[in-house]
Structures are given as structure tokens and as C-alpha cells.
Amino acid sequence: MNSEPLTDWESGLCDCFENASTCCYGFWCCPCLACTVAGKYGENRCLPLCDIFSPGVCVSCGIPVFLPPAVLSLRASMRSRYGIKGSLCKDILASCFCMWCSWCQMHRELKHQRKTPTIINVHNQTVVQQPAPVVIMQSTPAVPPPYGAHY
């Protein structure tokens, strides 16, 4: 379990004009924005294509309910990784009814997470180094005792 308190998203779901570049990028090419978000998050850039093609597959198979899998799973994963408040129910609502706003919000969050510095606490430890033992060897010449000396 994460012991840090949960935080809010850096921006709201409908704060599209808070970051004009994200808003314009998402407005003109929403699939491109979604693929960029998936790639920057570390997932396959083609993951959002599931959201684009899934409705057609569901309709052709007669499945009446559709949840966009890519935006929903990425949103829930991002909340978990960054410790963002919310619930799976809110993720489903945002993903189903505001899919492109959700992609824009996740794009802004990734930008914010890159700017947020990582704080590392370093505890100083005293290191005592003992001097290496010094060995003094004295060599004496090997001279034989004089002739007739008794020891």
C-alpha cells in the first residue's frame, strides 16, 4: 500500500483550455493525442485503436454495452501509479461520456508528472576509516658468526 496521501488530478476533466497545446492537439487529431499519451505512459502507441475499432466490433457481434477499454484501463492505471483520488466508477463515467476530454486530462497529467521533481532523502552515515596496519620488517644481513664464537 502507498503510504502517501492521495492527490487530485493536476487539471480537471474539462480544463481543456488550461494547456492550449494539449487542447489544440486533441481537437484536431484526437487519435494522435491518444496514441501519444499511451506511448508516453509506457504502453503500446496503438493501444487507443482498441477504443476506435471496438464499437464496430461490438455492434457487429450484437453486444449492446460498450466500454472503451484503452482509455478506461490507462486512466485507472495512471490514477494508481500517481496516487490520484478517484474510483473505478468515475473512471468509467469519464471514459464513456468524455473520452477525448479524458485523453486530454491524462496528457496534461503526464506533462505535470515529468515536471514534478523526485525528492530523495539521504541520511548521512559516519564512516570511520582505521589506518591500515603498518608492518615494519627489518632485514638483517645473513652474516655467519665469527670463527670460534660460542653462543
| CA dist., res. 148 & res. 151, Å (int) | 10
37 backbone dihedrals φ, ψ, rounded to 5°: -60, -45
Q: Which of 27-31, 56-60, 92-96 bottoms out in mean pLDDT, i.e. has the lowest?
A: 27-31
Say how many residues make up the chain. Answer: 151
Residue 144 placed within a domain: no
Report residue 107 as a C-alpha cell.
Answer: 496528457
Please determine, for residue 41, whether its predicted confidence score (pLDDT) is greater than 90: yes
Residue 6 placed within a domain: no
User: What is the pLDDT confidence band of residue 146, given thresholds at 50, 70 and 90?
Assistant: low
Residue 42 placed within a domain: yes
| CA dist., res. 87 & res. 104, Å (int) | 19
Q: Is the model's pTM score more than 0.85?
A: no
Residue 73 placed within a domain: yes
82-101 residue pLDDT tens:
999 999 999 999 998 888 88
Cα-Cα-Cα-Cα dihedral sign, residues 111, 115, 116, 120:
positive
93-144 residue pLDDT tens:
999 888 888 988 999 899 898 886 656 666 666 666 667 677 666 666 666 6
In single-letter form, the type of residue at position 59 comes to: V
Domain with 37 in it: 16-115
Residue 34 placed within a domain: yes
- Residue 37 burial (CB count, 10 A): 29
Residue 124 placed within a domain: no
Residue 134 placed within a domain: no
**Mean pLDDT of the chain, nearest integer:** 79
Residue 24 placed within a domain: yes
Partners of 7 in the β-ladder: 84
Q: Domain total for the chain?
A: 1
